[in-house]
Chains A and B, each alone.
Chain A
């Protein structure tokens, strides 16, 4: 059983009588249990629409979404319990402090007495010294951490993170990703969106690249790099000549050398720049 299955998902927003936006045009993919899946795409690609469809904030026009084998559309009360969500936009209620917010959040999930879990999360996310502050008294990074703590109060099995690191400093970003890895080790499946491609490359087991409502690529970061990015080779041969080659990242070094009629024995210096996800991403999105 997969943690998440998206089946031919379509969503058309009707802005007014003659203006329609096809935000999702038939998306298919799945996330296996315990996997970290990165959904990448430029602004307006449809990432948030997809995530909101999983949490029922948006109603799909057609298609189906299954969370651990249960349809989100048919039995939302069951799937909602298994999902934790960190929205792209931070909530801003002015009335309550961190502990109250986490207490209410637990209550929504049927947990009347969730003190131990709340204390653990508050500590884990370094919010313990801010526990009695209201949201507007928190910094942007603290708010993000609160949103993450909130998403985890009920120990969800599938965590959805919609740009959790937007506007977050380097140090916190690293600690957040370390935390996501820890969650993965606990067996939690993660769907995240981010615009930091290097981090996605390092963190995600698989990625999906979405553009204009279509999923253009789905696979491991290695696969997309091999398919769409380039390998750059600069080398110096015994005769003192400099050579520069650019070839597909999927090609092996020996193959490239052979193609250019250079033998290993002649090389005195070599520099290989492996393809980056960023390059592949740009290419995919501009296909």
Chain B
């Protein structure tokens, strides 16, 4: 139980919003936890196991091990985005976003609470995917897949969670219909994730696509995360760290703009 003695009064709205986010996604646990288990299980089965034996990577990493961090970071991204965007959109629909607007809650409190909600839900899904993947790895290759650089894994969970939670805020506040929201997922988020190297290493791509990939910020997040798990990846850690930090800054500003320009009013 959070008490007033521990937290200054000005922080209470922030913690309240985080608590609300967590309680909310825990109530749709099937969607948040069970469905990523099922989908990562299927991906691992179809790609990791069946294709795994025929695909070899130049770095010498077995495909199954390559795929697991990719799936983890994909779960992180999708769920961080889902969490903030669907939270805002359903709140617009029910009208309880107006409660927040009317209360003395600052934009920063809203943005960071949504960001934290994204980290928590995205991180949970990444963790579960990692556990499922690791067990798969144990069955297939006789050993668990363990994280090489846990600190950097945490770093990318936090930055990745924030980036996509902020993106979710941006889209949800500016969207006027459900259509606009799903258009963003389908036409921007999905291609960027798939082309960012979740399933394949860029070294296997045509040189043109390799060049294009380097302009995709997700490429650095996905490969930075993969590096933290496997110890090897397509880009070096420093570049990944810098690019993700810049992306946090940019998406944070986008979220700020969206709250200023967007509407809290009910649909």
Q: Which residues of chain A have a CB within 8 Å of any CB of chain B?
A: 55-57, 76-78, 80-81, 83, 85, 87, 89-96, 100, 104-113, 150
Interfacial residues of chain B within 164-198, with CB under 8 A of chain A in the complex: none
* Chain A nearest CB, measured from B219 CB (Å): 36
Chain A residue numbers with a CB within 8 Å of B105 are: 108
Chain B residue numbers with a CB within 8 Å of A94 are: 94
Q: How far is the CA of A111 from the CA of B90 in the complex (A)?
A: 25
Chain A residue numbers with a CB within 8 Å of B16 are: 104, 106-108, 112
Of B2, B95, B104, B264, which contacts A108 at CB under 8 A?
A: B104
Report whether B4 and A93 are in contact in the complex, using a CB–CB cutoff of 8 Å.
no
Q: Pick from B3, B10, B104, B105 the residue with the most CB of A within 10 Å.
A: B104
Residue of A whose beta carbon sits closest to that of B91: A93
Q: How far is the CA of A55 from the CA of B12 in the complex (A)?
A: 21
Q: How far is the CA of A76 from the CA of B107 in the complex (A)?
A: 12
Report whether A57 and B94 are in contact in the complex, using a CB–CB cutoff of 8 Å.
no
* Interface pairs (13), CB distance under 8 Å: A76-B104, A78-B104, A85-B102, A87-B95, A89-B95, A92-B95, A93-B96, A95-B23, A107-B16, A108-B17, A108-B105, A110-B12, A110-B13
Report whether B102 and A112 are in contact in the complex, using a CB–CB cutoff of 8 Å.
no
Of A57, A92, A96, which contacts B102 at CB under 8 A?
A: A57
Interfacial residues of chain B within 97-143, with CB under 8 A of chain A in the complex: 98-106
Q: How far is the CA of A150 from the CA of B103 in the complex (A)?
A: 11
Chain A residue numbers with a CB within 8 Å of B15 are: 107, 112
What's the tally of chain B residues with a CB closer than 8 Å to chain A? 33
Chain A residue numbers with a CB within 8 Å of B12 are: 107, 110-112
Chain B residue numbers with a CB within 8 Å of A77 are: 104, 106
Residue of A whose beta carbon sits closest to that of B9: A110
Known contacts A104-B16, A108-B16, A108-B99: A91-B104 contact under CB 8 Å:
no
* SS class, residues of chain A in contact with chain B: loop
* Chain A nearest CB, measured from B202 CB (Å): 41
Of A89, A106, A110, which contacts B10 at CB under 8 A?
A: A110
Of B10, B90, B94, B102, which contacts A83 at CB under 8 A?
A: B102
Q: How far is the CA of A94 from the CA of B9 in the complex (A)?
A: 28
Residue of A whose beta carbon sits closest to that of B4: A112
* Chain B nearest CB, measured from A208 CB (Å): 22
Of B7, B13, B94, B265, which contacts A91 at CB under 8 A?
A: B94
Residue of A whose beta carbon sits closest to that of B95: A91
Q: Pick from A77, A90, A93, A100 the residue with the most CB of B within 10 Å.
A: A93
* Chain A nearest CB, measured from B97 CB (Å): 9
Chain B residue numbers with a CB within 8 Å of A109 are: 13, 103-104
Report whether A112 and B23 are in contact in the complex, using a CB–CB cutoff of 8 Å.
no
Report whether A113 and B3 are in contact in the complex, using a CB–CB cutoff of 8 Å.
yes
Q: How far is the CA of A91 from the CA of B91 in the complex (A)?
A: 9
Q: How far is the CA of A112 from the CA of B91 in the complex (A)?
A: 22
Of A78, A80, A93, A95, which contacts B103 at CB under 8 A?
A: A80
Report whether B102 and A91 are in contact in the complex, using a CB–CB cutoff of 8 Å.
no
Of A76, A81, A112, which contacts B2 at CB under 8 A?
A: A112
- A-B pairs, top 8 by smallest CB distance, nearest first, are A107-B16, A108-B103, A91-B95, A80-B104, A110-B9, A93-B94, A92-B94, A55-B102
Residue of A whose beta carbon sits closest to that of B109: A108
